[in-house]
Structure 1
Amino acid sequence: MDPGIQMHHVESGGDPLAQWNISVNAIDVLIRKLVQENAELKAKIEDQEFQNYTLTTALSTTRSSFREKESLAKSLEVKLEEIQREVTISNARSQAERNLVMTLIDGDGYIFDRELLTRGEDGGRDAAKILSNGVMKHLSKEANRPASPDLWTMIFLSKDKLEAVLSRSSTCTAEQFRLFIKGFSQAQSLFSFVEVGPSKEAADHKIKEHLSKFIGNPKIFRVILGVDHDNGYSSAISSAMTNDPDQRLVLLQAHPDIARDIAALNLPMFSIDTLFKVDKLTTQAPSPPTSVPTQVAIVAGSYAAVAGPPKSPPASVAVTIKKITYSPEKNTIGWTKGAIKRNPPPCNAHYLIGYCNSPDCKYGHNYELSHAELSQLALGAKQQPCHYANDNQTCWVENCIYGHECPRGRNCTYLSRKTCKFIGKGMHD
């Protein structure tokens, strides 16, 4: 019952003391209720104040953290700009340092144009200029090319061998070739011919070593290779491509037919017009005198052969050896092993090519061979495989004195035993 109602009931007919007690009790209950509600409200207020404090503190912390992060972001932005400037400067410096363009040419296979060679020193200077301009023209197509590239060109060759071949083929005289080399080497400070000696693999070895040593050099922008004629370079080039993530190798094409293994590498390539001779060299020699058979022209299967200087005015007589077509049935037609009774045996190079470049050659050079002996010598040379053909390379010598196919053909018994000297592809077809 509501205390107010209860008090009213007492007032209307009860004991005053009882009425007082009831009123006091009612007031006490009301006070207790108010105190409890006040305590609950106070607790809520304190909780709200704590939450407010917590949120205020968190907000303050967040604002402080935001200001710190904002300051850090600005600091990092400034630092990033500094780093970007440093990177730009470093890239520019690196690009400026990576300005070396190295050109490695196999001079035994890349023969300069006859018009340049015959002009001697002037031709050499012009050849250097044509090569330089050709390289620069190629580089101009590259977006990241250096502003001022340094061209470093080395042509590796066996000078004495090439000099003799050029002279015998009437391409140029030995003196013109020497002057050509001089003019070429003096035209540019980093252009040079490099003599490698008489070894047939010397130029290959030098070029492969230079390629291996320099392909990882950070100063190298491009390495240009003049080796399109020789499959023997393919392995070294493939290895260099693997070790060069920047793909800096370029092929300088000089011949219309690129060696198969080189073409398979799919290197970027370019060519330079009028710089190199694209056709094969053809060697010739004057006809022999009628009185003394010291000079004999051997055609259709060998170089012209010069055994010695003529002892009388040259006549029009020459010994011609018919071109021999070998077949399995006819074996080595016309050739008899040991037919030339000379000790030591005559030197093939001296008598059939006209020049022997081996200072320690163990074969004879002073014989006056008969026509029959020269014929046997030429046929005998064909029993030996051509080094280039045997290595599956293009032989650029017209009328090469050595064999490009096995004389025994498909029925070669040595082939089945894998002991035949003729190992090139197609040599037994």
Structure 2
Amino acid sequence: MPANASEMCMAEKMTESLDVKALMARTVELEKECERLRLNLRPNRIVALIDGDGCIFEFERIAQGRTGGLEAARCLAAGIRQQFKVGPHRPLSVYVFLNKSGLKSTLNKLHINSEWDDLDKFMVGFNQASAGFIMVDVGWNKEAADAKIKALLEKEISCPQTEFLVFGGCHNAGYVPNLSTHIVEGFESKLYLLTGYNECASQIKDLNLPTFQIYDLFIPEKIEVTRPYTPSPSPAPSANDFEFDMDEASPAPDYLTPDYFIPVTRRRRADSSASYASSVNSCASTYSDCAKSAPNCGAVAIPPSTAMRAIDASRPVWKQSPRLCSVYYLSSAGCNNPECYNSHKYTLTDVELYNLREYARKKVCSSANNLGDCPRGEDCIYGHKCPKLSSCHFQKLGKCRFKAKGMHTPDNM
């Protein structure tokens, strides 16, 4: 074979070899590109749909206005990420729909949230917490929040990028047909239930979907607002007419009896049942004066119940119904709020008082947190130090409620 023919053959083989290598390299590049596209298209979004008419945020948070809204959003985000064990890189969208005027009316009837703009500021804070957090007032239209949530549920559950959908409407059985439809269509693995109240609707519970709760975020019990009792027309009563037999009377339930019908002299922590009974007897004798000084709220003045109640052992001391007043039981000054909506009628053991005190210290003192100093000093019932101190996971993420300097440092350092 001529020399130049042999060289040409070798050149052709080398060219073919180079072409194969180039093709293999291109194949590897294309496979990497396909994998990247698969990762980008993989479901990675978490969407939360919350019915704000049933999942009502803690009144203490609402009373804090914008700050409370920011903290509520952070607590909600932390609870959801903890449930799914994901980091802050995972996209999270939260939609809360509520009837703002209706909620304000309910708070007013319960003598809660005297500052009318607190709820507005709370909503502003929640919306400012993250670009993906939206709290919307849907107005007075009946089931307006339901319609919004059902429409978004239909859209988000079928979106390929939605990995998990958190549904916060467990109080309302009207959502059952929609949830059942999506379960049948094969989206059951995406659905998770977020409960506001301790108990959800039995029909929703029967769906057997994964359920979780974020403690201290929503009120645990359904609000019951009873229409005030209107007596039949009768002659104007005298002061002595208020001396009646408590067994024959029909007072409202304890949780509807406003504390402002109780004289200020009674507003101290009861050391024993005897001292409490004594103060109640004193209150009954001066009831006519109390009725005259009561706020004009449209309700008939009802004398305070003489019955003390024991703690329900099946629940934590801070989860009682009606909720007890932490300030009344823990502060040496007691509760001086004439419109306090929490109960002062529980008898607590030393262990229950200790548990309540430890729980209160887990809540950050707003004065110490915002001003760096608390005027109440050692008498403050709230926390001046994060319970986790330097080992706090949320501090490392910049999301701990205890933000003031030194709140994560032990006292001996």
Tell which structure's C-alpha radius of gyration is larger. 1
TM-score (norm 1): 0.47
TM-score (norm 2): 0.49
